[in-house]
A and B are shown apart, each in its own frame.
Chain A
Amino acid sequence: MSDMTLDRTTLVGTAPPTAARRQHSVIPGFGLTLGLTLLWLSLIVLIPLAALFVKTAELSVEQIAAILTAQRTLNALKISFGLSLAAAAINLVFGAVIVWALVRYDFPGRRILDGLIDIPFALPTAVAGIALTTLYAENGWIGSLLAPLGIKVAFTPLGILVALVFIGLPFVVRTVQPVLEDLDHELEEAAATLGAGRWTTIRRVVLPAVLPAFLTGFALAFARAVGEYGSVIFIAGNLPNISEIAPLLIVIRLEEFRYADATTIAATMLVASFILLFIINGLQRWSQSRTGRTA
């Protein structure tokens, strides 16, 4: 194991200089900019989100518990979190393949492939939703090929998975890509010179270096997928307990005048996403500290 530690610390040659030094700044505008930032943040983000908790707090603990433990709520949360996890996992695997191809190999069309990765990020979710539904419905381009095999995608949980994979892909690829690009060639060459096989080198040298980035990308894709609405509602069957995602349940509760249910589920998801964000930021710091140790 000792050689591994060595690897990690030598990895870093190319890391960026670290941020803001601690000192008393002569630059003007601290009060003004921080004040405006806090004001703007409060007005647009914090106060509106607080309304959600105030509304939920109007309920008793028993009521909140009853809403959250209702079979339909539990199932919706299970579907949202479960499928998001699965989608992020698929993106992790194929993201790795794609990143490797893009960074390590030169082939015709590489640039185009690279550019396409960002499409799900820039394409509005509703457009993605109707496009995927049209493709994967039984009479669609892909759906009609899968139908004879007995595979149904649109209007099943599988359809939700497809949509979530679509929207999550750029997050994994774009987080891992720069780290793999920055990885020092010499390490792998050294490992090879020392007699390590290609697979061993990848496993022992490359993987530890890109692992934090992978985890961050995974968490980002997961966080994005849990809240996703636009692309999913078109392709999901929207069947309670089977293909009804939590954000849709929030909308349905809202449309049924059941504000308490809507806000309680929303607040729960909000807490979950806040925790996720903390994990992501922690992961990013971990990843930075690993790559920035010798800087």
Chain B
Amino acid sequence: MSNASPVRDEPAAVKWTVIGLAALFIGLFIVLPLVNVFAQAFVKGWQAYLDALVEPDALAAIRLTLLVTALSVTANTVMGLVTAWAITKFSFKGKSFLITLIDLPFSVSPVVAGLIFVLLFGAQGYFGPWLIDNGWKIIFAWPGITLATVFVTFPFVARELIPLMQEQGTTEEEAAVTLGAGGWRVFSRVTLPNIKWALLYGVLLCNARAMGEFGAVSVVSGHVRGETNTIPLQVEILYNEYQFQASFAVASLLALLAIVTLLAKTALEARLVSRSGRH
């Protein structure tokens, strides 16, 4: 990539100043906070670190987070595929408006995302009284936490798929249909292999966001220890209980998840680039 010609090069002094500034900025704003999480987590050594992770409330938080993540990522993956199919394989009026609506949760404040579900399903909300009388617990239980998480992660998979599927067009699918393949067969044999890496990438991002969501979940959780606290909420609770090391230990799980996500993402991107042959 960098077959730089002399005319495109700045003087070495400029070059290294730019690199230095970039490195300084990234170091100060990104690396230090990340390093800090692990430094604080291990401040009392490995044993304390592990103890913090196997503490029953922490385990319950991990379990709840995994449940909520599994549900919301699955739902959004399936629906992301459906949405991307509808948007990219057909042309219809109002498509760009639809895309804007799909993007909407991305720019809605997480707090508002939590609030709307309280308005709907809270005991004083529109459907809450009926639901509670019939024994359904939505808010302050895992269904409400899942709903808020699904809302917040709504656009992630579709967002990754739509540009790629648009780029790929519809020719291959049309050929397959002409040859007599049914809808599902076209999707699983023709479309899916073409988009699998982008799909995986979208799922990964969706997964990271789902596990780490704080604001929306905080509004609908009720903060019952061992029951409705997700990992990020458990981090906040421990932080408020003078258990800083434990708090950062649990936080480090999420930081680790972020790092794994990014490693996988880098690998996937290389894959995507080499497949689509754009470079």
Contacts and interface: CB of A to CB of B under 8 A. Distances in A.
Verify whether A and B have any Cβ pair under 8 Å: yes
Interface of A: 14, 16-17, 19-23, 25-30, 33-34, 36-37, 40-41, 44-49, 51-52, 54-55, 94, 97-98, 100-102, 104-107, 109, 113, 115-132, 134-135, 141-142, 162, 165-166, 169, 181, 185, 188-189, 192-193, 198, 223-224, 226-230, 246-248, 250-251, 254, 259, 262-263, 266, 269-270, 273-274, 276-278, 281, 285
A37 B86 contact: yes
A130 B88 CA distance: 41
Contacts of A223: 106-107
B214 A122 contact: no
Contacts of A29: 85-86, 89, 183, 187
Nearest to A265: B112
A188 B6 CA distance: 11
B154 A44 contact: yes
A177 B79 CA distance: 30
A251 B170 contact: no
A5 B90 CA distance: 34
Nearest to B276: A16
B2 interface: yes
Contacts of B279: 181
B203 interface: no
Given A27-B90, A49-B116, A125 B214 contact: yes
A130 B7 contact: no
A125 B212 contact: yes
A30 B90 CA distance: 7
Contacts of B115: 52, 250, 254, 262-263, 266
Interface string B215-231: 10011000000000001
Interface residues of B, number: 108
A130 B235 contact: yes
B30 A166 contact: yes
Nearest to B183: A28
Interface stretch (B33-41, B44-52, B54-62, B129-137): B33-41
A48 B248 contact: no
Contact of A97 (B7, B25, B236): B25
Contact of B26 (A49, A98, A193): A98
8 contacts: A27-B89, A98-B25, A124-B211, A126-B212, A130-B239, A135-B36, A223-B107, A266-B115
Given A34-B90, A101-B19, A116-B30, A269 B170 contact: no
Nearest to B19: A101
Given A20-B88, A25-B170, 5 more contacts: A25-B89, A33-B82, A122-B261, A124-B212, A229-B110
Contacts of A102: 22
Given A52-B112, A131-B34, A263-B119, A277 B251 contact: no
Contact of B36 (A40, A141, A188): A141
A161 B180 CA distance: 58
B199 to A, nearest CB: 16
B105 interface: yes
Q: Which of A47, A102, A128, A169 has the most CB atoms of chain B within a 10 A radius of its CB?
A: A128
Contact of A22 (B19, B91, B215): B91
Interface in B106-136: 106-112, 115-120, 124-126
Contacts of B141: none
Interface string B245-279: 00110010011011101110110000000000011
A123 B36 CA distance: 13
Given A19-B167, A130-B248, A131-B34, A45 B92 contact: no
A16 B273 CA distance: 13
A122 B247 CA distance: 19
B188 interface: no
Contact of B109 (A28, A98, A104, A266): A266
A7 to B, nearest CB: 15
A126 B212 CA distance: 8
A244 B99 CA distance: 33
B176 to A, nearest CB: 9
A38 B78 CA distance: 14
A186 to B, nearest CB: 9
A27 B177 contact: yes
Give me the 9 closest cross-chain CB pairs, A-B, nearest first.
Answer: A124-B212, A227-B109, A230-B214, A229-B215, A19-B166, A122-B258, A192-B7, A33-B86, A101-B22
B70 interface: no
B197 interface: no
Given A17-B169, A26-B174, A254-B115, A127 B215 contact: no
A292 B131 CA distance: 52
A193 B2 CA distance: 20
Contacts of B173: 27
A91 B146 CA distance: 33
Nearest to A111: B266
B10 interface: yes
B235 A126 contact: yes
B88 A19 contact: yes
